[in-house]
Amino acid sequence: MKHVKSIAAAFLASTALATAAAAECEITLKSSDTHPDGYPTVEAVKQMGETLKASSGGRICVEVFHSAQLGEEKDTIEQTKFGVIDLNRVSMGPFNNLIEETKVVSLPYIFRSTDHAHRVLDGEVGAEILAAFEPHGFIGLGYYDGGSRSFYNSQKPVRSIDDLKGMKVRVMQSDVFVDMMAALGANATPMPYGEVYSSIQTGVIDGAENNWPSYESSGHFEVAKYYTLDQHLIVPEVLVMSKVSWDKLSPEDQQLVRDAAAASVPVNRELWAAREKDSEAKIRAAGVEIVDAIDKTPFIEAMVPVYEKHASSPKLKSLVERIQSVD
Ligand code: GTR
């Protein structure tokens, strides 16, 4: 945290100078995030904005609209494609049906750990997947942390795959996750994040799946009190820019945007690590029944058909193999 504070202080100091030099922003980039203010992704994009404002001499600013003020992720992705929204911080999940390369980093158990994910995303495969956004109207600027996602529900502790059978579980709007649930014998209900709380509360669904910070900040832990740490997904978060907005910038300003985004990645990682611990502590103290020790092997084995269906083309298969071969 100390490191984060010092980075933040440096940003603020440089921004103060920039603000004095230039009275107002010539370009304001509108940025969307589903999470509330203070969440690590929201704060990282704000920091990116501070960096950009400073490096552009106060000309380029970022305004972050948190808490899904601009809409649910799938809708904001469309608006970003059309340049109505300039920047968007979303999960890779809702991109899966649009950009096939994003499926590879959304496959269950593709990453062995967060460290493995960092090594892959910081390397060649990560760069290739970011580059794959461009033909679809987006500029991939960087990856943020999304921890690992596990199942929670309102009915009973899940100790094995059998306990999931027949459960109605919300997933992000991606065919990969629908098939993941089918492979586990459960019924997937794809729906926007903002509808999950009331859907659990009213019994429309039995549960959902997410990481500690989202499970906590969304309040889902209040209505779904059984959490099983099966860690089936480590789905990266991604920061993208609309190609429409990007093309309006000079090459020099485009570089400033890229650099500012890159500088926000380590800030996000530090904030994430701290928030993950805080959220876990809060949830454990709230009386949630947590299944810590679960044998993941049957879950991993059940995912074979998901890989066969979603990563069988030579291109995607080779990306999977390259990810697996990263130490
Ligand atoms: C969160 C992620 C969000 C959103 C959400 C969801 O972990 O940060 O971008 O994808 O999950 O489940 O919809």
Residue range 21-43, pLDDT digits in tens: 444 899 999 999 999 999 999 99
The rounded distance, in Å, linking the Cα atoms of 283 and 60 is: 39
Label residue 319 by pLDDT band (50, 70, 90). very high
Label residue 1 by pLDDT band (50, 70, 90). very low
Indicate if the pLDDT at residue 15 is higher than 70. no
276 lines ligand 1 (CB under 6 A): no
Query: How many of the other CB atoms lie within 10 Å of CB of 155?
Result: 14
* pLDDT, position 19: 46
The rounded distance, in Å, linking the Cα atoms of 261 and 62 is: 11
Cα 105 to Cα 65, 80, 148, 194, 237: the distances in Å are 26, 21, 12, 24, 10
90 lines ligand 1 (CB under 6 A): yes
What is the 8-class DSSP label of residue 187? E
User: Which residue bears the tokens 């809060």?
Assistant: 282
Nearest to 239 by CA among 58, 47, 60, 67: 47
Indicate if the pLDDT at residue 11 is higher than 60. no
Structural contact between residues 17 and 53, judged by C-beta atoms closer than 8 angstroms: no
Which amino acid makes up residue 123? G
Ligand 1: atom nearest CA of 41 is 8
Domains of the chain with bracketed CATH: 2-145+236-278 (3.40.190.170), 149-234+279-325 (3.40.190.170)
Q: Which of 214, 239, 275 to mutate to test the pocket of ligand 1 (most atoms within 8 A of CB)?
A: 214
For residue 221, how far is its CA from the centre of ligand 1 (angstroms)? 15
| SS3 (DSSP) at 58 | coil
pLDDT digits (tens, 9 = 90+) for 211-225: 999 999 999 999 999
Rounded mean pLDDT of 60-71?
Answer: 98
Query: How many of the other CB atoms lie within 10 Å of CB of 64?
Result: 21
Residue 296 has phi, psi (to 5 degrees) of -80, -15
Report which protein residue has its CA nearest ligand 1's atom 13.
193
| SS3 (DSSP) at 300 | helix
192 lines ligand 1 (CB under 6 A): no
What is the 8-class DSSP label of residue 195? G
237 lines ligand 1 (CB under 6 A): yes
Instruction: Give the predicted TM-score (pTM) of the model.
Output: 0.92
299 lines ligand 1 (CB under 6 A): no
What is the 8-class DSSP label of residue 235? P
Indicate if the pLDDT at residue 16 is higher than 70. no
Report which protein residue has its CA nearest ligand 1's atom 6.
193
Report which protein residue has its CA nearest ligand 1's atom 1.
214
Rounded mean pLDDT of 140-153?
Answer: 98
73 lines ligand 1 (CB under 6 A): yes
Label residue 133 by pLDDT band (50, 70, 90). very high
270 lines ligand 1 (CB under 6 A): no
* pLDDT, position 162: 97
The rounded distance, in Å, linking the Cα atoms of 235 and 285 is: 26
* pLDDT, position 3: 43
Rounded mean pLDDT of 60-75?
Answer: 98
Q: Which of 64, 172, 271 to mutate to test the pocket of ligand 1 (most atoms within 8 A of CB)?
A: 172
Indicate if the pLDDT at residue 254 is higher than 60. yes
Q: Which of 45, 67, 91, 221 to mutate to test the pocket of ligand 1 (most atoms within 8 A of CB)?
A: 91
The rounded distance, in Å, linking the Cα atoms of 38 and 257 is: 22
What number of H helices and E strands is found in the chain? 16, 11
Query: How many of the other CB atoms lie within 10 Å of CB of 38?
Result: 12
Put the strands of the sheet holding 237-242 in their side by side order: 60-65, 27-32, 87-91, 237-242, 138-144
Tokens read off for 8: 């933040």
* pLDDT, position 24: 85
DSSP string, 118-130: HHHHTSHHHHHHH
* pLDDT, position 8: 46
208 lines ligand 1 (CB under 6 A): no
